[in-house]
């Protein structure tokens, strides 16, 4: 039974966390590539984990051991009947009005039952193991479970995603779940003959007190809130790269492994001094936001999260109950995880316009550390050595965190900037001096990415700026077509609406924008749309779905401006998507892709798709120009015939797409690999 239990616990945890990136990646394109997709998925998985733990606790508390086995085997059979797990096209939402609810609905219809069964299996197997092996701690199995979770998570971007299509990933996972069901049944078979006999031995230890349960809840909720808050901060403010989803969760799991594997890994004697430094540095890094940069921001937030989670999980491990109350302990931990996750994913976006939940999570961590210094039992917990100078330092840290949080909130309300937060992230509108010092300029940013800027004086407010100046790829293209009859231009991504400055009387500029807040800001805080001589049309929702519905529409130019934030909607950059674009282009139409990106090189992807479909490409890269408020910009123009891109102005401004040593990469609806295109 020992071997079967260990294998089942490890494999179940591996599958539990492997499925998270598999499903999240499969549905990410349906919701605009927003990092909030991962946060919402995490909350769903935490809730499903809680449900599984509640089932395991109720089963061990209410049912005889053999009935537990029968019930769980039936649950495994029911879960097998729902496989494979891949969501089909019918699950795709038709609009973007309630993306969080749509995500929950998709997950509930595809993965809910297998995930629930996996979640409940771990505590049940450990409970059966404890009954069959009195005197042997089952918490080593908990450490093994977290090791399996960690391996399942980190193996995805390196061993699974680069080699397998989404469909193959789903089928492989489903097959592995079948193998898990067999191993779990073998472990249950071993338990069948032993649990009833062993259950007669000894008596349960004292039930955990209300204070003890409250501490379990507070520690687990704080760690969970820190995990998601740091993930939001890293993925939106520092580097909007979906691969960074994995790093914070991997560190979170690693602290579980270390703290529950052995007492030697966590001690207040080293953790509290380092925690003081971590809380202080994390507070400063959060205040800097995007200014901290990726090379400093990612290590700072990662190491800080690791230290904070070592504190929370080390204190949890020091307070773990006897094996008789194991399932109750896990249930409380899962409840805290859901509460922390719900605060970040559901409550915080309604309370704050920025990512201020991180300050509250850091404050909670500092308060808990301070409380444990005063705790009478402190010297008998967590290696029991107390470093006395931490007391005033911890008080100072708590005060600093509270002060910085308050000052940040006051500064935001007084600095003249406007922040809007929704499912797709945080949008900031600021009025600052123009780059050349000539008057004021209004800026629109999403995280650390600029999405438009406009001069505020009447003489220059119609001047195209940012990535869309006259020398840019889109500027040269529209300038070349200025003598043509009125143009029908489609634009995927609105931003501040800067491209509308090129509109002429008779032109129709049709924008597709998935984020309703962007539409509101472009109309309220910028005048590009109102000043344009073209007819402006706005379409709410996912561009690819909208274009698929508009079967009779033909564009002279189709602009794809949805990739500059690095949280790219991959479903807009596949062979199937390009086939749709070609169907919506006039015979001599041009597809213009804005591919300026801090962290991703999407040129090889466009080259691969163009080669697959026999299309011509032209790259136009332009440098920043403060005098005209222009940023570095990279545009790639795509057309059916090379002659369309050989016009004099285009040929003079552009060059053949230079991939250097990179090989063209072909992304499809069933396969993509962002890791391969990281700069």
> What's the CATH number where 118 sits?
1.20.1250
Do residues 71 and 59 lie in contact, with contact meaning Cβ atoms separated by under 8 Å? yes
Q: Does pLDDT of 9 surpass 80?
A: yes
Residue 254 lies in a domain: yes
- CATH classification at residue 634: 3.40.50.150
**Between 215 and 88, where is the model more confident?**
215
Q: Report the C-alpha dihedral over residues 415, 423, 344, 100, rounded to 10 degrees.
A: 160
269 and 366 in one domain?
A: yes
pTM of the prediction?
A: 0.78
pLDDT digits (tens, 9 = 90+) for 49-107: 899 999 999 998 888 888 888 999 999 999 999 988 877 766 666 655 677 788 888 89
Residue 417 lies in a domain: no
Domain count, the chain: 3
Q: How many residues does the chain have?
A: 679
225 and 181 in one domain?
A: no
Residue 418 lies in a domain: no
Q: Does pLDDT of 132 surpass 50?
A: yes
pLDDT digits (tens, 9 = 90+) for 623-644: 999 999 999 999 999 999 998 8
Q: Which two tokens stand for residue 625?
A: 């120009």
Among 179-193, 391-405, 512-526, 579-593, the least confident range:
391-405
- Residue 668 banded pLDDT, cuts 50, 70, 90: confident
For 94, 135, 263, the CA distances from 381, given in Å and listed in that order, are 54, 21, 10
230 and 172 in one domain?
A: no
Burial 97-125 (b: 16+ CB within 10 A, else e): eebbebbbebbeebbbbbbbbbbbbbbbb
Residue 312 lies in a domain: yes
**Between 47 and 679, where is the model more confident?**
47
299 and 244 in one domain?
A: yes
Tell me, what's the pLDDT at 271? Answer: 82
Tell me, what's the pLDDT at 75? Answer: 94
Q: Does pLDDT of 432 surpass 70?
A: yes
* Pairwise CA distance, residues 50 & 115, whole Å: 11
Smallest Cα–Cα separation from 558: which of 517, 520, 590, 588?
590
DSSP secondary structure of 497-533? -GGGGG--TT-EEEEEES-HHHHHHHHHT--HHHH-S
Residue 283 lies in a domain: yes
Domain span at residue 550? 448-677
Tell me, what's the pLDDT at 524? Answer: 94
- The Cβ of residue 175 has, within 10 Å, a number of other Cβ atoms equal to 12
150 and 58 in one domain?
A: yes
Rounded to 5 degrees, what are φ and ψ at 206?
A: -60, 140
Identify the sign of the CA torsion 164, 168, 172, 177.
positive
The burial of 391, by beta-carbon neighbours within 10 Å (0-12 exposed, 13-18 middle, 19 or more buried), is given as: middle
256 and 190 in one domain?
A: no
Residue 421 lies in a domain: no
Residue 436 lies in a domain: no
Residue 53 lies in a domain: yes
Domain final position from 195, 224, 250:
195
597 and 511 in one domain?
A: yes
pLDDT digits (tens, 9 = 90+) for 164-177: 888 899 899 999 99
Domain final position from 340, 369, 398:
398
Mean pLDDT score, 567-576 = 80
* Pairwise CA distance, residues 661 & 641, whole Å: 26
528 and 390 in one domain?
A: no
82 and 49 in one domain?
A: yes
| Average pLDDT along the chain | 83
Domain final position from 360, 379, 398:
398
Q: Does pLDDT of 285 surpass 70?
A: yes
- Residue 14 banded pLDDT, cuts 50, 70, 90: very high
pLDDT digits (tens, 9 = 90+) for 358-387: 888 988 898 888 777 666 554 444 444 444
pLDDT digits (tens, 9 = 90+) for 145-155: 888 988 988 88
536 and 480 in one domain?
A: yes
Smallest Cα–Cα separation from 127: which of 64, 74, 79, 51?
64
Tell me, what's the pLDDT at 486? Answer: 95
Tell me, what's the pLDDT at 238? Answer: 55
- Residue 413 banded pLDDT, cuts 50, 70, 90: very low
611 and 471 in one domain?
A: yes
499 and 605 in one domain?
A: yes
Tell me, what's the pLDDT at 446? Answer: 81
Identify the sign of the CA torsion 250, 252, 256, 258.
positive
Tell me, what's the pLDDT at 17? Answer: 87
Tell me, what's the pLDDT at 660? Answer: 66
Smallest Cα–Cα separation from 481: which of 589, 576, 587, 391?
589
* Pairwise CA distance, residues 110 & 113, whole Å: 8
């Amino acid at each position: 039974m020992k071997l079967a239990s260990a294998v089942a616990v490890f494999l179940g945890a591996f599958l539990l966390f492997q499925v998270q990136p598999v499903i999240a990646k499969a549905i990410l394109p349906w919701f605009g590539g927003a990092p909030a997709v991962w946060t919402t998925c995490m909350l769903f998985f935490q809730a499903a984990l809680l449900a599984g733990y509640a089932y395991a606790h109720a089963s061990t508390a209410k049912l005889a051991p053999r009935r537990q086995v029968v019930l769980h085997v039936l649950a495994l059979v029911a879960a097998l009947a729902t496989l494979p797990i891949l969501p089909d096209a019918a699950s795709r939402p038709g609009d973007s009005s309630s993306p969080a609810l749509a995500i929950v609905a998709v997950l509930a219809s595809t993965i809910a039952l297998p995930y629930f069964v996996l979640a409940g299996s771990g505590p049940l197997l450990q409970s059966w193991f404890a009954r069959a092996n009195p005197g042997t701690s089952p918490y080593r199995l908990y450490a093994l479970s977290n090791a399996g979770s960690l391996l399942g998570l980190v193996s995805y971007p390196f061993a699974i995603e680069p080699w397998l299509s989404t469909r193959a990933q789903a089928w492989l996972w489903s097959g592995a779940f079948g193998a898990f069901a067999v191993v779990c049944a073998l472990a249950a078979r071993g338990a069948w003959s032993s649990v009833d006999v062993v259950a007669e031995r000894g008596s349960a230890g004292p039930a955990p007190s209300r204070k003890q349960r409250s501490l379990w809840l507070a520690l687990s909720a704080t760690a969970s809130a820190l995990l998601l808050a740091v993930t939001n901060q890293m993925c939106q403010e520092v580097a909007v790269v979906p691969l960074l989803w994995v790093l914070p969760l991997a560190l979170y799991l690693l602290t579980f492994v270390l703290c529950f594997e052995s007492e030697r890994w966590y001690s207040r004697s080293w953790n509290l001094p380092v925690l003081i430094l971590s809380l202080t540095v994390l507070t400063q890094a959060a205040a800097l936001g995007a200014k901290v940069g990726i090379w400093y921001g990612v290590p700072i937030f990662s190491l800080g999260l690791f230290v904070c989670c070592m504190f929370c999980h080390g204190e949890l491990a020091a307070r773990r109950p006897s094996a008789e109350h194991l399932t109750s302990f896990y249930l409380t931990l899962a409840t805290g995880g859901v509460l922390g996750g719900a605060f970040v994913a559901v409550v915080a976006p309604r309370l704050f316009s920025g990512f201020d939940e991180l300050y509250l999570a850091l404050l909670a961590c500092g308060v808990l550390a301070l409380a444990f210094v005063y705790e009478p039992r402190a010297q008998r917990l967590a290696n029991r050595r107390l470093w006395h100078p931490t007391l005033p330092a911890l008080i100072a840290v708590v005060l600093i965190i509270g002060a910085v949080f308050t000052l940040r909130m006051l500064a935001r309300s007084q600095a003249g900037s406007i922040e809007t937060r929704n499912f797709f992230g945080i949008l900031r509108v600021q009025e600052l001096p123009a780059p050349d010092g000539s008057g004021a300029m209004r800026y629109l940013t999403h995280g650390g990415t600029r999405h438009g800027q406009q001069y505020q004086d009447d003489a220059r407010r119609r001047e195209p700026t940012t990535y869309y100046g006259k020398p840019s790829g889109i500027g040269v293209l529209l300038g070349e077509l200025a003598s043509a009859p009125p143009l029908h231009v489609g634009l995927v991504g609105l931003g501040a609406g800067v491209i509308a400055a090129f509109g002429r009387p008779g032109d129709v500029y049709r924008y597709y924008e998935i984020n309703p807040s962007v539409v509101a800001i472009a109309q309220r805080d910028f005048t590009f749309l109102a000043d344009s001589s073209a007819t402006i049309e706005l379409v709410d929702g996912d561009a690819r779905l909208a274009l698929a519905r508009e079967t009779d529409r033909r564009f002279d130019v189709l602009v794809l401006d949805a990739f500059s934030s690095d949280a790219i909607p991959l479903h807009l950059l596949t062979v199937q998507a390009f086939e749709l674009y070609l169907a919506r282009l006039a015979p001599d139409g041009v597809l213009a892709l804005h591919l300026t990106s801090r962290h991703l090189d999407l040129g090889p992807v466009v080259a691969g798709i163009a080669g697959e479909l026999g299309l011509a490409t032209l790259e136009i890269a332009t440098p920043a120009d403060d005098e005209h408020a222009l940023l570095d910009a990279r545009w790639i123009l795509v057309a059916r015939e090379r002659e369309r891109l050989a016009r004099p102005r285009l040929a003079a401004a552009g060059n053949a797409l230079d991939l250097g040593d990179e090989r063209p990469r072909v992304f499809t609806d069933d396969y993509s690999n962002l890791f391969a295109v990281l700069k």
